[in-house]
């Protein structure tokens, strides 16, 4: 059996286990065992991958397997990973693991919640291991649908509205995406849905690319919070339960960037070069606009959601720069943002679970009351504003240095504009930290609140360790990603 | 020199240990641990300096530049452009090691007494270790990007330490302000680095004669100018100085370490580090630095005269003195110390002496504030009776900063003035005048605290007495350094713009003028502020009321910033954007949803739910189909 | 021998009566009876065509029998539903049943 199929199999087994489990303890056992198994498999995969590479494996994708499941359209269950997918799988493993602990005490309907949660993670893992466009799309949809129920049933605030909006916008985008995928399939000669085959055939006419590239890019871009299609993100994140926000902002939004890069740009290099500037402008707007919007929000989750718009904008920004450094930076930023934002949402969820408000105007002086969560929040904030030693710094610096290497003045100018976001980020993060954590607590109901429980501590500590570990020793992961970026970027630059 | 890595790793270790385990340590254990680690770091620094400066010079008379460590930290896949971390030893970085470890050790010892019994004592020591690590990492940077990395880290340590008393609103506001202002300046630094990297093709510090530097010559002035914006932010140059006076909300030893002796001179160090490039490619940018610094020095001195909070006086005095250092660098026109390059050595010299006496001043201020429980001068007066050691240490440092021989400040300031006169006599006279202002406001402070009108009521209530030994010993050590350093060490022997040894000598005319003017200023301050009744001072204050008020409010620069950030950035940019997002962008999608809904309502009438209506339609349809088939 | 036309006239009348009844009656039971009329009309046609046009085959008879069986089952279900509806809303008038629209 293929190593990669484990990532789909484990969630399915977990769902089976959840289905037959009878009480809360059993549900939790199944979740912890399953999530740990996923995390361990992800780490094992990383180690195996690095070993295979250092042993001299030169194929673009390793651990390949193909099973045709719909022959008339050449749709196959094809799996394979390169450094980028390995990094993403690792990220997903970490987030699912910590998400389990972050929703440890969730009520009601815990079992059903975890069922959908697991289905969502199955979709995510399946997406990252697939290299067949249609199977990828299928897993994408699998990841999308549970979101509706998770937000609609277990959310807070205007949850029905948010769930509906999120699902409809993402569904709309995936409809466009499906057109794009079918367009690619038929224009490339309708012989294979496999990304590698299409990319190496180079037989999509440029005129066709110009039609399908925007469709595919926007289709995935909506998920990556591309301006002006980002508005599902603040509402969706604000209403979703903690672990769903974590998984959504941490991993699901990365599907967008990953898809843009792996499908839209890889398969249609000429169009990417020709139309890149339009999307570059949009992403630059995303970066600055998201950061500026975050400055005046008063809901903790809205602040973080707009911050995600800004940071995910940077991902798309960097991949459009089409060079090795910037693209590596983009993947690093996906990882780093995934971890940081998951940490943020976890902490916000924990604070909200205690104070029952996320309005920054009603919170103050929480540091004295819940020191563990307070310190965690400060660390998350500092990581978010790109402090050296945390993952944000390495990702942003790689992106900025890489983007600034572009020969075109236009690209360098917008790089400088995008750079300003790091100052704005500092403004809203520090205002927020100063407002809710520092000072004296003015609300007497908050004085009796307790600090984090052990399960919450596990989630927070694991995430902080990952953020700091990535930020302090970026060499190995950066190299792993970069080696896999090379074939895609060279495909793009060759076709210029 | 492999041992130098421990100079950085040990404080890091101490930070991690105290940060994680601090909760379970007693105050005493945490403090001792932090101080002991720093003691080792100091010994290592001195050992490094000793071995470095006693090693034989190279054939051309310079000290060898050693790079014991330089490893790739973040791969950038851009050939020569690497993001490395390492250790670079050259005369200025070794000198900075001495300055930082000495002052930091003094502050560690002093904090033992000053922070005694404070909540969060362990956290305090953890942050001090973090700061020391970052600052040491900054000065030994092997490339500009490493410098930026540690530059951000010192910024955040400063943020954490200013906001140490995080339940106090002013401290929180000050920490936020400090971080945001410097961060804004760092944007300039970052862009400068990007431009430098792009045009020069490396992030390393290149010599002016290398092909890389010559290749990027066109854009180097821009890059250096942008980098200086970063330096100006950290070194509190006008108009980015606003954070420094507020940063005094932090614990006083922190002000001594970060906001007087070490971090705020990072900008000076940056300019000194890039000095060869400045001279070779961007002399005009260097002179702009000098003008900005001269204006800042004047502005800060003017404001310092009108402050009543003793820490703020010292803060503005720091700004002013950093201005002196940057002026000294800015007036350089060549790398030859005899022909226009004297300022480089003067700036480094002043950096060293200033670090010692300004740290001493702040630590004295800390002793006084702890006894009086206030920062305001009017709560003090006549303190000499209660705190003799502090009094003497403060007096020594005041004499040093005023430029009175034989204190160290005299020698360094004299070199700066000589360099200014060599550049342009007007500049020389301006700086002499500012030096006179310095002497005046420092002695105003001195007489205000230790002489003048005693606040008897307040003193009987608090019963001030001399600080404990942990606090006085650092004062004594720093005073001794201040007293001896200037005339025992030939600074030019170690540090000079071209690396070769040279003997700096006192420019007699400059020295005499500056000393005479300084003594005059001190005498004026003495007549105005020494006595119980300060008739002259009060009448002057009345006569120039508007000017005094403006200076007291720091010429309203903070208000301008407040207006720009809150009204313009938040009010006119952020809020409209947030509104636009909610109502226009989001409104569009809501409109799409709404219009779909509305359309559905319109066509739902077809589905009446009456079965017989459906069968009519069915029947008619069937008949029509049959008709069609038949015809 | 009775002509085939006679049978067909009878079945046509039954079919039309069924259609008419289905359109005009609002009582579910009456509508069900109308549906049964239409079904029986077709059954007659099956039987007649088999008997008079293709006397060698048996398919028509079987089809008619099959249809009768189905209509029996269908009627049973339909009446069961009607009883349930009646229990819930005390009426089996078709225009009263609109609960499932929302």
Contact call for B611 and C101, based on CB within 8 A: no
Q: What share of chain A is helix, strand, coil (3-state, %, to 5)?
A: 80, 5, 20
Phi, psi of A81 (to 5 degrees): -130, 145
* Mean per-residue pLDDT over chain A, rounded: 87
- Give the model's pLDDT for residue A1: 57
Instruction: Judge whether B611 is closer than 8 Å to chain C, CB to CB.
Output: yes
pLDDT at residue A284, rounded to an integer: 92
Judged against a pLDDT cut of 70, whether residue B5 lies above it is answered with yes
Q: How far is A468 from chain B (nearest CA, A)?
A: 12
Long-range pairs, C70-76, Cβ under 8 A, ≥24: C71/C36, C71/C39, C71/C40, C75/C32, C75/C36
Cβ atoms of B288 and B238 within 8 Å: the answer is no
Q: Return the pLDDT at A496.
A: 59
Q: Across the interface, do C98 and B619 touch by the CB < 8 Å criterion?
A: no
Q: Does A381 touch chain B (CB under 8 A)?
A: no
The mean pLDDT value for B102-126 works out to 87
Q: For residue range B504-552, what is the model confidence (pLDDT) as tens digits?
A: 777 788 888 888 888 888 888 888 777 777 777 777 777 777 777 777 7
Work out the minimum CA distance from A495 to partner chain B, whole angstroms. Answer: 21
Q: How far is CA B525 from CA A32, A46, A248, B362, B452, in A?
A: 74, 71, 67, 20, 11
CA angle A251/A418/B223 to nearest 5° reads: 135
Of the candidates A316, A348, A307, A346, the one whose C-alpha atom is nearest the C-alpha of residue A334 is A316
Identify the CATH number of the domain in which residue C45 sits: 1.10.287.3510
Restricting to A residues 321-340, those with a Cβ less than 8 Å away from any Cβ of B are: 324-325, 328
Question: DSSP of B178-238, one letter per residue?
Answer: HHHHHHHHHHHHHHHHHHHHHHHS-SB---TTSHHHHHTTTTHHHHHHHHHHHHHHHTT-T
Q: Pick from A288, A291, A215, A216: which is nearest to A258 by CA?
A: A216
User: Mapping DSSP to helix (H, G, I), strand (E, B) and coil, where does residue B373 land?
Assistant: coil
Environment class of C33 (CB within 10 Å of its CB; exposed 0-12, middle 13-18, buried 19+):
middle
| Rounded percentage of chain B residues whose pLDDT exceeds 90 | 13
Tens of pLDDT, residue by residue over A398-411, are 999 988 888 888 88
- What torsion, rounded to 10 degrees, do the Cα atoms A158, A161, A165, A168 define? 140
Q: CB distance B609–C22 less than 8 Å?
A: no
Give the pLDDT score at A358.
84
Residue A495, pLDDT score? 64
Q: Please write the tens of the pLDDT for every residue from A375-423.
A: 999 999 999 888 888 988 999 999 999 888 888 888 888 999 999 888 8
Q: Which of A203-207, A390-394, B113-117, B501-505 has the lowest mean pLDDT?
A: B501-505
Nearest to A310, CA basis, from A242, A234, A246: A234
Which pLDDT belongs to residue C100? 67
A165 and B CB contact within 8 Å: yes
Q: Is residue C101 part of a domain?
A: no
Q: Is the pLDDT of residue B378 over 80?
A: no
Q: Is C22 inside a domain boundary?
A: yes
**Looking at beta carbons, which residues of chain B come within 8 Å of A440?**
167
Give the residue among B160, B186, B192 at the shortest CA–CA distance from B175.
B160
pLDDT score at C10? 93
B603 has a pLDDT exceeding 80: yes
Query: How far, in Å, CA of A96 to CA of A77, rounded?
Result: 24
Whole-angstrom distance, CA of residue B5 vs CA of residue B136:
10
Q: In chain C, how many domains are there?
A: 1
Question: pLDDT at residue B414 above 60?
Answer: yes
* Confidence tier at B482 by pLDDT (50, 70, 90): confident
Mean pLDDT within B196-209: 84
Q: Which of B75, B149, B167 sits opposite A438 (nearest CB)?
A: B167
B39 vs B44: CA distance, rounded Å: 9
pTM above 0.80, yes or no: yes
Specify the pLDDT at position C30: 92
Mean predicted confidence (pLDDT) in B563-578: 78
Give Cα separations from C26 to B108, B254, B620, C29, C31 (angstroms). Answer: 96, 91, 20, 9, 7
For A52-105, what is each residue's pLDDT tens digit?
A: 888 887 788 888 888 888 888 888 888 888 889 999 999 999 999 998 888 888
Q: Output DSSP code: residue B273.
A: H
| Chain C nearest CA to B593, separation (Å) | 20
Q: Closest Cα partner for B148 from B94, B223, B47, B43?
A: B223
Mean pLDDT of all residues in B582-611: 84
Stronger pLDDT, B340 or C76, i.e. the higher one? C76
How much of chain B is helix, strand and coil, in % rounded to 5?
A: 75, 5, 20
In angstroms, the CA B479 to CA B464 distance is 22
Write out pLDDT tens, residues A447-474: 777 787 888 888 899 999 999 998 888 8
State the helix-helix crossing angle for A232-239 and A159-187, rounded to 10 degrees. 130
Distance CA B503, CA A493 (A): 58
Domain containing A69: what range? 3-494
Rounded to whole angstroms, what are the CA distances from A391 to A335, A348, B98, C13?
A: 8, 20, 32, 84
Is residue B296 within 8 A of residue B241, CB to CB? The reply is yes
Question: Within a 13 Å sphere around the CA of B568, how many CA atoms are in the beta-carbon half?
Answer: 7
Scanning the structure block, which residue is given the tokens 């909070």? B309
- Touch between C and A (at least 3 CB pairs under 8 Å): no
| Interval A116-162: pLDDT, tens | 999 999 999 999 999 888 999 999 999 888 888 888 888 887 888 88
Query: Going by C-beta distance under 8 Å and a sequence separation of 6 or more, which residues neighbour residue A435?
Result: A360, A363, A364
Q: How far apart are CA B525 and CA B523, in angstroms?
A: 5
Q: Answer yes or no: is pLDDT of A439 > 90.
A: no
Residue of B423, B395, B368 lying closest to B479 (CA atoms): B395
Cβ under 8 Å to B: A residues 273-302:
289, 292-293, 295-297
* Residue B374 backbone class (left: φ over 0; alpha: ψ -120 to 50; beta: rest): beta
Number of H helices, E strands in chain B: 28, 2
Q: A169 near A221, Cβ under 8 Å?
A: no
Report how far residue A402's alpha carbon sits from residue A325's, in angstroms, rounded to the nearest whole number: 5
A359: left (phi over 0), alpha (psi -120 to 50) or beta: beta
Q: What is the mean pLDDT of residues B369-383?
A: 80
C-beta atoms of C23 and B611 within 8 A: no
Residue B361: both structure tokens together: 């001043």
What average pLDDT does chain B have?
85
**Residue C48 belongs to what domain range?**
4-96
Using a 10 angstrom Cβ sphere, with 0-12 exposed, 13-18 middle and 19 or more buried, the burial of residue B72 is: middle
Choosing among C15, C18, C21, C22, which should be mutated to test the B contact, i.e. which has the most B CBs within 10 A? C22
Compare C45 and B492 and report the one with higher pLDDT: C45
pLDDT for A441 equals 80
Each residue's pLDDT tens digit, B290-318: 999 999 999 888 888 888 888 888 899 99
What is chain C's pLDDT, residue by residue, as a tens digit (102 residues)? 788 899 999 999 999 999 999 988 888 899 999 999 999 999 999 999 998 888 888 888 999 999 999 999 999 999 999 999 899 888 888 878 777 665
In this complex, the residue of B609, B612, B619 whose CB is nearest that of residue C101 is B609
Q: What is the mean pLDDT of residues A233-258?
A: 87
Q: Does A367 touch chain B (CB under 8 A)?
A: yes
CA distance C92 to chain B (A): 13
Q: Is the Cβ–Cβ distance between A24 and A110 less than 8 Å?
A: yes
CA-nearest of B166, B303, B321, B170 to B259 is B321
Q: Is the dihedral of CA B156, B159, B163, B166 positive or negative?
A: negative
Domain count, chain A: 1
Q: Which residues pair with B204 in a beta bridge?
A: B143
- Mean pLDDT for the stretch of residues B38-64: 88
CB pairs below 8 Å between A and B: how many?
130
């Amino acid at each position: 059996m293929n190593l990669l199929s484990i990532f789909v199999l484990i969630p399915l087994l977990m769902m089976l286990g959840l289905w037959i489990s009878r009480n809360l303890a059993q549900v939790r056992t199944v979740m912890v065992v399953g999530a740990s198994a996923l995390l361990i498999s992800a780490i094992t995969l990383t180690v195996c991958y690095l070993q295979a590479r250092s042993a001299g494996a030169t194929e673009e994708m390793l651990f390949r397997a193909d099973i045709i499941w719909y022959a008339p359209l050449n749709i196959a269950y094809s799996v394979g990973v390169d450094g980028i997918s390995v990094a993403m799988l690792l990220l997903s493993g970490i987030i699912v693991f910590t998400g389990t602990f972050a929703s440890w005490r969730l009520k009601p309907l815990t079992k059903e919640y975890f069922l959908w949660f697991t289905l969502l993670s199955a979709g995510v893992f399946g997406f990252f291991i697939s290299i067949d466009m249609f199977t990828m799309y299928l897993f994408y949809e699998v990841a999308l649908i549970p979101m509706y129920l998770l937000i609609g049933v277990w959310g807070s605030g205007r949850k029905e509205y948010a769930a509906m909006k999120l699902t409809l916008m993402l569904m709309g985008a995936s409809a466009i995406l499906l057109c794009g995928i079918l367009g690619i399939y038929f224009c490339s000669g309708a012989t294979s849905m496999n990304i590698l085959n299409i990319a190496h055939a180079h037989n999509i006419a440029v005129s066709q690319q110009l039609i399908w590239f925007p469709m595919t890019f926007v289709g995935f871009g909506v998920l990556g919070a591309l301006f002006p299609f980002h508005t599902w993100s603040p509402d969706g994140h604000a209403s979703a339960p903690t672990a769903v926000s974590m998984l959504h902002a941490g991993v699901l939004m990365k599907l967008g960037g990953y898809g843009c890069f792996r499908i839209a740009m890889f398969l249609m290099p000429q169009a990417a070069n020709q139309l890149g500037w339009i999307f570059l402008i949009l992403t630059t707007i995303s970066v600055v606009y998201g950061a500026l919007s975050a400055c005046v929000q008063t809901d903790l989750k809205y602040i973080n959601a707009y911050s995600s718009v800004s940071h995910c904008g940077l991902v798309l920004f960097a991949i459009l720069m089409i060079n090795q450094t910037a693209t590596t930076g983009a993947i690093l930023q996906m990882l780093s943002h995934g971890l940081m934002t998951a940490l943020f949402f976890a902490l916000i969820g924990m604070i909200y679970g205690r104070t029952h408000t996320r309005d920054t105007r009603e919170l103050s002086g929480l540091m004295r009351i819940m020191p563990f969560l307070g310190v965690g929040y400060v660390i998350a904030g500092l990581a978010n504003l790109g402090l050296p030693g945390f993952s944000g710094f390495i990702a942003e610096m790689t992106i900025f240095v890489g983007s600034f290497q572009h020969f075109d003045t236009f690209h360098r100018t917008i790089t400088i504009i995008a750079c300003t976001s790091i100052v704005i980020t500092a403004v809203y993060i520090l205002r927020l930290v100063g407002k809710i954590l520092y000072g004296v607590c003015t609300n007497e109901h908050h004085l009796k609140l307790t600090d984090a429980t052990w399960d919450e501590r596990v989630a927070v500590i694991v995430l902080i360790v990952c953020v700091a570990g990535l930020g302090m020793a970026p060499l190995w992961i950066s190299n792993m990603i970069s080696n896999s970026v090379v074939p895609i970027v060279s495909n793009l630059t060759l076709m210029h | 020199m492999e041992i130098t890595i421990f100079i950085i790793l040990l404080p890091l270790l101490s930070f991690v240990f105290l940060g994680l385990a601090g909760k379970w340590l007693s105050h005493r254990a945490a403090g001792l641990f932090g101080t002991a680690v720093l003691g080792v770091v100091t010994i290592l620094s001195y050992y490094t300096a000793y071995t470095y400066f006693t090693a034989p010079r190279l054939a051309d008379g310079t000290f060898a530049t050693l790079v014991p460590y330089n490893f790739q930290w973040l791969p950038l896949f851009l050939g020569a452009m690497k993001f490395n971390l390492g250790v670079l030893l050259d005369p200025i970085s070794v000198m900075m090691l001495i300055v930082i470890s000495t002052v930091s050790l003094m502050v560690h010892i002093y904090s033992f007494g000053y922070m005694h019994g404070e909540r969060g004592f362990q956290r305090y020591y953890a942050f001090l270790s973090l700061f020391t690590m970052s600052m040491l990492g900054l000065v030994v940077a092997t490339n500009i990007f490493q410098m930026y990395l540690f530059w951000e880290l010192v910024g955040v340590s400063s943020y954490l330490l200013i906001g140490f008393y995080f339940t106090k609103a002013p401290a929180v506001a000050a920490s936020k302000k400090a971080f945001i202002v410097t961060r804004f300046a760092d944007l300039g630094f970052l862009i400068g680095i990007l431009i430098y990297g792009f045009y020069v093709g490396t992030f390393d510090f290149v010599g002016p004669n290398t092909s890389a530097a010559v290749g990027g010559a066109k854009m180097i002035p821009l890059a250096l100018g942008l980098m200086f914006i970063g330096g100006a932010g950290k070194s509190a140059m006008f108009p980015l100085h606003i954070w420094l006076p507020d940063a005094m909300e932090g614990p006083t030893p922190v002000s001594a370490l970060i906001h007087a002796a070490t971090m705020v001179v990072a900008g000076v160090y940056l300019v000194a580090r890039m000095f060869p490039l400045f001279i070779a490619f961007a002399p005009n940018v260097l002179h702009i630095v000098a003008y900005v610094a001269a204006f800042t020095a004047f502005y800060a001195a003017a404001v310092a005269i009108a402050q009543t909070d003793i820490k703020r006086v010292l803060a503005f005095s720091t700004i002013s003195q950093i201005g002196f250092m940057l002026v000294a660098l800015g007036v350089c026109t060549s790398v030859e110390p005899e022909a226009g390059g004297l300022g480089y050595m003067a700036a480094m010299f002043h950096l060293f002496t200033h670090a010692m006496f300004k740290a001493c001043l702040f630590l004295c201020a800390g002793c006084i504030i702890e006894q009086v429980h206030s920062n305001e001068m009017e709560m003090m007066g006549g303190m000499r009776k209660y705190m003799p050691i502090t009094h003497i240490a403060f007096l020594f440092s005041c004499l040093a900063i005023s430029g009175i021989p034989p204190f160290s400040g005299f020698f360094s300031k004299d070199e700066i003035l000589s360099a200014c006169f060599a550049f342009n006599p007007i500049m020389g006279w301006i700086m002499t005048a500012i030096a006179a202002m310095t002497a005046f406001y420092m002695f105003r402070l001195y007489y205000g605290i230790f002489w003048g009108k005693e606040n008897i009521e307040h003193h009987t209530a608090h019963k001030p007495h001399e600080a404990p030994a942990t606090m006085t010993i650092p004062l004594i050590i720093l005073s001794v350094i201040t007293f001896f350093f200037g005339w025992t060490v030939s600074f030019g022997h170690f540090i000079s713009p071209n690396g070769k040894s040279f003997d700096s000598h006192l420019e007699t005319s400059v020295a005499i003028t500056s000393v005479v003017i300084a003594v005059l200023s001190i005498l004026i301050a003495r007549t105005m502020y020494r006595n119980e009744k300060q008739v002259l001072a009060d009448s002057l204050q009345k006569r120039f009321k508007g000017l005094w008020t403006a200076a007291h409010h720091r010429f309203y620069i903070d208000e301008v910033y407040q207006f720009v950030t809150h009204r313009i950035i938040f009010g006119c940019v952020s809020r409209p954007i947030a509104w636009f997002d909610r109502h226009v962008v989001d409104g569009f999608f809501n409109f799409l949803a709404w219009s779909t809904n509305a359309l559905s309502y319109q066509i739902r009438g077809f589905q009446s739910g009456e079965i017989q209506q459906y069968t009519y339609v069915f029947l008619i349809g069937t008949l029509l189909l049959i008709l069609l088939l038949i015809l | 021998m009775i002509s085939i036309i006679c049978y067909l006239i009878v079945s046509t009348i039954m079919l039309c009566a069924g259609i008419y009844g289905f359109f005009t009656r609002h009582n579910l039971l009456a509508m069900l009876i109308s549906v049964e009329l239409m079904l029986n009309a077709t059954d007659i046609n099956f039987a007649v065509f088999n008997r008079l046009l293709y006397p060698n085959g048996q398919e028509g008879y079987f089809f008619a029998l099959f249809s009768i069986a189905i209509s029996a089952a269908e009627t049973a279900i339909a009446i069961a539903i009607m009883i349930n509806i009646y229990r819930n809303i005390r009426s089996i008038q078709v225009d009263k049943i609109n609960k499932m629209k929302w």
